[in-house]
A and B are shown apart, each in its own frame.
Chain A
């Protein structure tokens, strides 16, 4: 039995499979060294004092030691400097993790009890699995249909909560082909521990092949366009701007000013809010007549509409639907 356990002796590091992983590991190892150093130093000092100054007779009355302001300052300042250093290091890595590079593949994720629905821009859908190419940045835009979940890939050192009612996003760039654990890391009910899957990182050729093998008749943009017509959006949002609502061509990603003077950027969150809560975003020069679509569209359909609106251009046209 011992042999079987030993054979399974755990590796001490998770796979290092993204560009962030190595950088975060450096900070992790520094902190490990720091922890072990100070823990050992304290234990050793205590142990040494315990032996050297052990009580030798009941009558012992050791004299008081002089207080030392200098010593107090030293052990305040040095830990503080270390803390500032670690804070800055961690904050800068986090800041980078929060900013996806340009040209990232956009993947849309909807979490629900107890599975992951993912969709590629070309329309391929996956459940509990995500196929991605190596060495290409991938950005996940995520929401939940029910409770809060969390999309965690240990090998990428990547984690972000998936929240109902809003979008969250995270990005990664895989560095090694392979199959990596995907875990839900926010307790979400009975089968929380079953809400797992894998990220399949493939070489570019294999990925292209996979896309072909799994191609659907419709990309997200096409599905979105159909929804846009079926729900009647195109009756107000005319392309020439003569309708009751503003034209959406070339608007995604651009800033706009609301009636009260606030500036917002038309990003995914803005589009979702204007579909569910149009009254909360009144525009100058337009009457607030847009109805709410709350209850009429699912989260996945919103993501498809967003894909379509994005395709209407943010200045330059992307691929034709």
Chain B
């Protein structure tokens, strides 16, 4: 890399955080790094709101007859938990925070292709969140995050239109972010940075962005049609005039299946970065990992019917969806094997980011394999709409995506803030989260197999022991999530100052000071080497 870094003490150096002050300099910023922090604040707030719903749900479920709330309220809790966590936390989590911060830096650019559009993206997100929170505060919504018709279009009396509108608007935030990333990665790579020299995080963000752009509009139209049907009391999903409510499911899942890959692919990209850095090895099978991201993105568009095996869908359509669902598992398996092989003969250190990455690999493997139970049509008959499905997707989304997100936040925290956090606390929190997570969700596999349906406010008493175990785990998990919140915030003020590359990592983002200057690079760096050159002779690194 050609950019030399002059280390000027943080107190006198101008960087993106102190280049300008005042609320207007943040609310009208077009700096991708500041926008990333705006997102970080908002999605953290949404995470704790969604988490609060989960805490209430798990407290309620310690009693078979329900310990806390009426069924109407419970239905609103699980709906809002799903809507907030999926649309307002998981979907934007890594792309809008780490993606926004790192994509220009990793390709050697000064900013994204469309900085003002980036800011607009955040405002659109806030608008969507406002509609959704309005629905929450004014009494809640109880459609389930899946908004199935005709329940949502004709039968419920809650604020369905507000909630659906919030999700609809938020979709445009995703679309604009994805558009920005695609154009940036295509058109603004530094000289010498070919596709095959890009860091794996960029490949995964690119694949995610393709899904953002092609899938999100379909849920937009699906929800738009539900809103119209609700407003005009007639529509194309209405069986009374010959409409088909199952058509909504097709449109909904056409987005929502690829959406789950939006949630996991960036986490996989983070894990690729963490595993290579903390074992000081270049990734085993770089091209396989890169192409597997693209394969997952493409195949993911053709498997949506596996959510509908028992919806009355044709058996033959089911066969195709089932076969393709198995096919989409293979690229994920390729990644897991390649990450494991990267560790071989490496020089492995166990700082918190690495603990999160390794936790991701193990838990994602289990979560992904339990997906096979659901891809297989016969077992899906029994397990569909039971707690098995809940356990499966939480293993992937929480054991996978959230741990990937936390690992990435911890890894790039020094770059973002210029400070180091206390690694002892961080490792402790990672362990608490790992234990709490497994205790919460492993019993749910068993509950599902035993037949406990999901979205139940009351349940037969023979399911109580497993529910109590799960709730106990949830309380541990909740504590586990609070710990990083505390020490990370603390480190901003009191943490030791970080150098430009505290981990000794390879990557263009580490070639800048921590925190970076507003323009990242004055001249675009010229890239002359393959990425992840850990085995190469050392350049001078601070």
- A276 proximity list for chain B (CB < 8 A): 242
- B381 proximity list for chain A (CB < 8 A): 24, 94, 97, 157-159
B344 touching A65, Cβ below 8 Å: yes
B326 touching A192, Cβ below 8 Å: no
CA distance in complex: A169, B343 (Å) = 51
CA distance in complex: A67, B75 (Å) = 51
Nearest CB of A to B85, in Å:
17
Nearest CB of A to B389, in Å:
10
B242 touching A27, Cβ below 8 Å: no
- A62 proximity list for chain B (CB < 8 A): 279-281, 345-347, 534-535
- A122 proximity list for chain B (CB < 8 A): none
Interface residues of A in 1-48 (CB under 8 A from B): 5, 8-14, 23-24, 27-28, 31, 34-35, 38-39, 42-43, 45-46
Interface residues of B in 497-517 (CB under 8 A from A): none
- B457 proximity list for chain A (CB < 8 A): 192-193
CA distance in complex: A53, B71 (Å) = 53
The answer, yes or no, to whether A63 is at the interface (CB within 8 Å) is yes
Interface centre among B284, B327, B343, B348 (most CB of A within 10 A): B348
Nearest CB of B to A250, in Å:
29
Chain A 70-113, CB-CB to B under 8 Å as 1, else 0, gives 01100110011001101101111111011000000000000001
A192 touching B534, Cβ below 8 Å: no
CA distance in complex: A165, B346 (Å) = 61
Interface residues of B in 207-252 (CB under 8 A from A): 239-240, 242-246
Interface centre among A34, A83, A92 (most CB of B within 10 A): A83
| Cross-chain contact of A8 among B75, B245, B312, B465 (Cβ < 8 A) | B465
CA distance in complex: A50, B535 (Å) = 19
Nearest CB of B to A161, in Å:
5
- A164 proximity list for chain B (CB < 8 A): 150, 239, 245
The answer, yes or no, to whether A287 is at the interface (CB within 8 Å) is no
- A28 proximity list for chain B (CB < 8 A): 373, 379, 382, 449
The answer, yes or no, to whether B163 is at the interface (CB within 8 Å) is no
A90 touching B376, Cβ below 8 Å: yes
Nearest B-chain residue to A34, judged by Cβ: B369
Q: How many cross-chain pairs have Cβ atoms below 8 Å apart between A and B?
A: 277
Nearest A-chain residue to B378, judged by Cβ: A93
B343 touching A49, Cβ below 8 Å: yes
A54 touching B349, Cβ below 8 Å: yes
The answer, yes or no, to whether A134 is at the interface (CB within 8 Å) is no
- A174 proximity list for chain B (CB < 8 A): none
Nearest CB of A to B533, in Å:
9
The answer, yes or no, to whether B185 is at the interface (CB within 8 Å) is no
Chain B 358-385, CB-CB to A under 8 Å as 1, else 0, gives 1001100110011011011111111011
Chain A 221-235, CB-CB to B under 8 Å as 1, else 0, gives 000000000000000
B330 touching A83, Cβ below 8 Å: yes
- A166 proximity list for chain B (CB < 8 A): 239, 244, 312
CA distance in complex: A166, B150 (Å) = 13
Chain B 293-319, CB-CB to A under 8 Å as 1, else 0, gives 000000000000000011110010011
The answer, yes or no, to whether B322 is at the interface (CB within 8 Å) is yes
A24 touching B75, Cβ below 8 Å: no
A38 touching B369, Cβ below 8 Å: yes
CA distance in complex: A276, B241 (Å) = 10
The answer, yes or no, to whether A288 is at the interface (CB within 8 Å) is no
B450 touching A14, Cβ below 8 Å: yes
- A46 proximity list for chain B (CB < 8 A): 340, 343, 358, 361-362
A83 touching B326, Cβ below 8 Å: yes
| Cross-chain contact of A193 among B288, B338, B370, B458 (Cβ < 8 A) | B458
The answer, yes or no, to whether B93 is at the interface (CB within 8 Å) is no
Interface residues of B in 445-489 (CB under 8 A from A): 446, 449-451, 453-466, 468
Chain B 525-542, CB-CB to A under 8 Å as 1, else 0, gives 000000000110010000
The answer, yes or no, to whether A152 is at the interface (CB within 8 Å) is yes
Known contacts A27-B379, A75-B334; is-contact A53 B155 (Cβ 8 Å) = no
Known contacts A35-B370, A183-B453; is-contact A65 B350 (Cβ 8 Å) = no
Nearest CB of B to A274, in Å:
13
Interface residues of B in 141-194 (CB under 8 A from A): 142, 144, 146, 148, 150-151, 154-156
A146 touching B348, Cβ below 8 Å: no
Known contacts A71-B341, A158-B381; is-contact A189 B285 (Cβ 8 Å) = no
- B460 proximity list for chain A (CB < 8 A): 181, 196
B side interface size, CB within 8 A:
97
The answer, yes or no, to whether B423 is at the interface (CB within 8 Å) is no
Interface residues of B in 276-293 (CB under 8 A from A): 279-282, 284-286, 288
- A14 proximity list for chain B (CB < 8 A): 449-451
Known contacts A34-B372, A72-B288, A95-B315; is-contact A79 B346 (Cβ 8 Å) = no
B319 touching A91, Cβ below 8 Å: yes
CA distance in complex: A94, B446 (Å) = 22
- B281 proximity list for chain A (CB < 8 A): 62, 64-65
B311 touching A163, Cβ below 8 Å: yes
| Cross-chain contact of A24 among B282, B336, B378, B464 (Cβ < 8 A) | B378
The answer, yes or no, to whether A188 is at the interface (CB within 8 Å) is yes
The answer, yes or no, to whether B323 is at the interface (CB within 8 Å) is yes
- A183 proximity list for chain B (CB < 8 A): 451, 453
- B17 proximity list for chain A (CB < 8 A): none
B453 touching A152, Cβ below 8 Å: yes
CA distance in complex: A165, B323 (Å) = 29
- B245 proximity list for chain A (CB < 8 A): 148, 163-165
B330 touching A80, Cβ below 8 Å: yes
| Cross-chain contact of B322 among A54, A65, A90 (Cβ < 8 A) | A90
A98 touching B376, Cβ below 8 Å: no
- A54 proximity list for chain B (CB < 8 A): 347-350
CA distance in complex: A65, B280 (Å) = 11
- 10 A-B pairs with the lowest CB-CB distances in the bound complex, closest first: A154-B451, A165-B239, A90-B376, A93-B378, A94-B377, A193-B456, A83-B326, A60-B347, A35-B369, A49-B343
Q: List 9 additional contacts besides A72-B334, A148-B245; criterion CB under 8 Å.
A: A8-B461, A31-B372, A53-B346, A55-B348, A65-B344, A65-B345, A83-B326, A148-B311, A161-B310
A to B CB contacts below 8 Å, 19 in the list: A8-B465, A10-B450, A12-B450, A31-B372, A39-B365, A46-B361, A54-B347, A75-B333, A79-B329, A83-B327, A94-B377, A95-B315, A97-B378, A147-B155, A165-B245, A185-B384, A187-B385, A189-B156, A194-B71
